[in-house]
């Protein structure tokens, strides 16, 4: 989950799902459909990323819709994910 924290309120911005080859099995496809449904009902945007040994950080930021700093463009936010 990627969350923004403002005014002591934590808001889920989106869910990041890393998909490896196991997601090609019937069992995982059914589970993924269930997770997708739950996220949609909670109005959380799911983003699926193929598993890789390494990632191009600027490309990931673009895919996730975030800039050089995580969160809204203010100086209050740090560039970190916990």
Cβ–Cβ < 8 Å for 4, 11: yes
pLDDT digits (tens, 9 = 90+) for 51-80: 999 999 888 888 887 776 655 444 333 343
Could you give the CA distance from residue 38 to residue 62 in angstroms, rounded to a whole number? 25
Does this model's pTM top 0.75?
no
Q: What is the CA radius of gyration of the chain?
A: 15
Could you give the CA distance from residue 70 to residue 46 in angstroms, rounded to a whole number? 17
pLDDT digits (tens, 9 = 90+) for 12-61: 878 888 888 888 889 988 998 999 899 989 888 888 899 999 999 888 88
């Amino acid at each position: 989950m990627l969350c923004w924290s403002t005014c002591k309120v934590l808001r889920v911005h989106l869910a990041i799902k890393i998909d490896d080859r196991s997601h090609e099995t019937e069992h995982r496809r059914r589970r993924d459909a269930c997770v997708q449904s739950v996220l949609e009902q909670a109005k959380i945007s799911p983003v699926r990323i193929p598993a890789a040994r390494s990632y191009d950080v600027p490309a990931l930021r673009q895919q996730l819709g975030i800039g050089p700093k995580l969160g809204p463009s203010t100086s209050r936010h740090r560039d970190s994910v916990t």
